[in-house]
Amino acid sequence: MDVETVHIDLGERSYHIVIAEGLLTQSSIWSELPKSATALIVTNDVVAPLYLFSLKQVLSAQYAQVHTVVLPDGEAHKDWQTLNLIFDALLTHGCDRKTVMFALGGGVVGDMTGFAAASYMRGVPFVQVPTTLLSQVDSSVGGKTAINHPMGKNMIGAFYQPQLVVCDLTTLDTLPARELSAGLAEVIKYGPIADMQFLAWLEDNMDALLARDRKALSHAVKRSVEIKAWVVGQDEKESGLRAILNFGHTFGHAMEAGMGYGNWLHGEGVAAGMVMAAELSCRLGMVDQAFVQRLRRLIERAGLPVRGAVIDAKDNAGRYLELMRVDKKSEAGEIRFVLIDGPGKAVMRSAPDALVREVIDSCCA
């Protein structure tokens, strides 16, 4: 399989996303990175036994010292305590501001490594090496880095771009089926917001994606990052257009925070959140019910939840609204949703609380 390359154009902060199988062991992929005596690989205790040795071996040809730090796995550990393990490693090994950091893992590892890189000595270079489908198609691209707070997901972080993103499709072979489905949620979202032809392609190829057909996965990853690169290139710091990438996330983040991080995977929350956002779009007269049902069917085929979680038995909708007001897209306490204004076009809009309550009540199990 040929190496696919997508360029993200951000002036002096531009970089490439490379996509193919077997990249972890290809020395040429890493040869153009910033020169340094030291590298630090950040990974977790699930990924480390699978891929840490391969990455450390290939980097040892370029860096005199390659240090590692292994974090506990899971969204529940995306916090200050775990972040400090990265800083402890950097300081213990005397890493300077030329040290190159490598995020080997999924979205949690990538977000925390990026945030640590943005903060350590006010900024050191880092590379994303995403090993989950979700991180390959979304979180590794675009420079969003963060940790969670008990009151809100990804509320503490920075915009900080990597030097390179290396998507080795081989790593998807060891991905649990639930994680693969979670990644497909972030793939599916690109259709309704930007490319209905891609949505149709996903309908035709969902079985192949679930079977981990390498050609299908390569196309899904490439098209997803092409769309994201196009959006981020126009709005790096989410002052407008980039917010459309959060389709389904406002409802989804509320579920994650309300249930406790780690009970649902991020992609599972996004999946149910997309159905809720589509239903809200329909009730506002922006799409028809046929579109909502089409999206619901595709999400269900991907093995994802299509009904939201009940996070408060006494006042479920009220708890959702409370959590969504902490969302980063909220303005002066007004919740702003990414909605579909006709298939393939996303917009930011607010909606009356009463209508949002109706949607939550109708869409939650």
The single residue of 67, 77, 153, 228 carrying the catalytic annotation is 228
Q: Has 246 been annotated as catalytic?
A: yes
Q: How far is CA 73 from CA 78, 112, 126, 310, in A?
A: 9, 12, 20, 25
Q: Has 249 been annotated as catalytic?
A: yes
Q: Three-class SS string for 168-186?
A: EHHHHHHCCHHHHHHHHHH
Q: Has 77 been annotated as catalytic?
A: no
What residues contact residue 261 under an 8 Å CB cut-off, 6+ apart? Answer: 74, 75, 76, 78, 148, 153
Q: Has 16 been annotated as catalytic?
A: no
Cα gap 105→133, rounded to integer Å = 10
The single residue of 253, 294, 329, 336 carrying the catalytic annotation is 253
CA of residue 361 relative to chain centroid, distance:
27
Cα gap 203→3, rounded to integer Å = 25
Q: Has 238 been annotated as catalytic?
A: yes
The single residue of 219, 222, 242, 329 carrying the catalytic annotation is 242
Q: Has 44 been annotated as catalytic?
A: no
The single residue of 266, 296, 329, 336 carrying the catalytic annotation is 266
The single residue of 144, 153, 296, 329 carrying the catalytic annotation is 144
Cα gap 47→280, rounded to integer Å = 38
The single residue of 249, 294, 296, 336 carrying the catalytic annotation is 249
For the chain, how long is the longest CA-to-CA vector?
A: 61
- Rounded to 5 degrees, what angle do the CA atoms 105, 109, 115 make? 140
Q: Has 331 been annotated as catalytic?
A: no
Q: How far is CA 197 from CA 5, 58, 223, 282, in A?
A: 21, 39, 11, 21
Nearest to 113 by CA among 66, 171, 105, 121: 105
Token pair in block for residue 15: 């970089």
The single residue of 148, 154, 246, 316 carrying the catalytic annotation is 246
Q: Has 256 been annotated as catalytic?
A: no
Q: How far is CA 46 from CA 134, 295, 309, in A?
A: 16, 32, 27
Residue type present at position 354: A
Q: Has 149 been annotated as catalytic?
A: no
Q: Has 98 been annotated as catalytic?
A: no
Q: How far is CA 2 from CA 15, 150, 215, in A?
A: 19, 43, 10
Residues assigned a catalytic role: 122, 144, 186, 228, 238, 242, 246, 249, 253, 266
